Homo-oligomer: A and B are copies of this chain.
Amino acid sequence: MKVDGKHYRTIWPSKTGQTVEIIDQTRLPFEFKIVELANLDDAVNAIADMLVRGAPLIGATTAWGIWLAMLADGSDTSLKQALDKLRNARPTAVNLSWALAQMSTALKPLKPEDRSAAAYARALEITENDVILCSSIGDHGSQLISDTHAAKGNDEPINILTHCNAGWLATVDWGTALAPIYKAHDAGIPVHVWVDETRPRSQGNFLTAWELQHHGVPNTVIVDNAGGHLMQNGEVDMCIVGTDRTTASGDVCNKIGTYLKALAAHDNNIPFYVAAPSPSIDWTISDGLAEITIEQRDHREISHIAGKLNNDSLATVQVVPDNCSTRNDAFDVTPARFISGIITERGICAANQRALSTMFPEHA
């Protein structure tokens, strides 16, 4: 999407044909910096240090990392080392393992001298496929926004609440939950986004507000406590959120706090949509609350917050008493009964087993 008028993706091969470029997301929203990945280690570090984040973008960076390794040395030893190093960059990232398997399958049968070109082709394909997938979600979801606009029958903006960051910064382009919003905005439908701060990690403040602002989509940051009140007050037309993992029955595991917003939407008869690319659907499980183990993350994400001092330098401040106990569950599960629809790349379906398996019969 656009940054101050110029189109960017989150990752792309550089003009030299020898390196890859990314946006350093650890510096957002305070600095927009392009970083060059010149070799395998740069790619590993970009993933490990979270210069890139978001499952689809991690997958793409993994593929490009293998290309950088093959460009330097296409040998079996080099390929094995690259697969191992990337695998350990962020051990729990599903798309990372997926991309490694894709690259390994494509490259292992080849002669060393053919691997660089093949790696480039496969990395490009993975990247372009992610753009196509997100763009399709955007097309289907923007129809919902367009319909809501038509039903309202005036030129007031459609107010959409989102949680966390499921925008283009988490993917290669477009995003998942934000793709419908970008498509609607680009088509001239007036939209306004309520951006949940999304503690801990503040991805709403740091990423969602930044990317919407720079693409020119009107948005307002609110604290995570505020969405229910805005819904009671008639100031939210719909919610669209992303998903980290979706069950075959339509339960959605997403950033902690998603469930609270779904409850409020339900209580106020506001549609609550989940943008779910089909790779996020885990067809092996059907009860999100019983079957998904929620990751508990570091104390420091609760106890400290990063930001900008008034001298423009960045700093981290402690925001709890000394020796304070904290608990940091990263995700929660929103039961399917609170979800109005799931926006996939093939279309929108109800959040239940039958609808999902009708949309994806190959998994039924």
Count, chain A residues at interface, CB 8 A = 65
- Interface segment, A97-105, A275-283, A309-317? A309-317
Residues of B within 8 A of A306 (CB): 317, 319
Set of chain B residues within 8 Å of A259, measured between Cβ atoms = 228-229, 232, 264
Count the copies: 2
Which one of B294, B309, B320, B323 lies within 8 Å of A229 (CB-CB)?
B294
Residue in B199, B206, B228, B317 whose beta carbon sits within 8 Å of that of A308 in the complex:
B317
CB distance from A230 to the nearest CB of B (A): 8
Which one of B30, B305, B325 lies within 8 Å of A305 (CB-CB)? B305
Given A232-B289, A321-B205, A302 and B222 contact (CB-CB distance below 8 Å): yes
- With a cutoff of 8 Å between Cβ atoms, the chain B residues found around residue A222 in the complex are 302, 326-328
Determine whether the beta carbon of A327 is less than 8 Å from that of B209.
Answer: no
Q: Does A224 contact B (CB under 8 A)?
A: yes
- Is there a chain B Cβ closer than 8 Å to A227's Cβ? yes
Q: State whether B257 touches A223 (Cβ < 8 A).
A: yes
Chain A residues packing against B (C-beta within 8 Å): 29-30, 194, 197-200, 202, 205-206, 209-210, 213, 218-230, 232, 255-257, 259-261, 263-264, 267, 289, 294, 302-310, 315-329, 331-333
Which partner residue on chain B sits nearest A219 by CB separation? B325
Contact of A318 with B327 in the complex, beta carbons under 8 Å: no
The residue from B29, B206, B227 contacting A260, defined by CB atoms under 8 A apart = B227
Besides A222-B326, A260-B261, A307-B317, 7 more A-B contacts (Cβ < 8 Å) are A197-B319, A206-B321, A218-B325, A221-B303, A225-B255, A228-B263, A263-B264
Residues of B near A267 (CB, < 8 A) are: 263
User: Contact at B225–A198, with CB atoms within 8 Å?
Assistant: yes
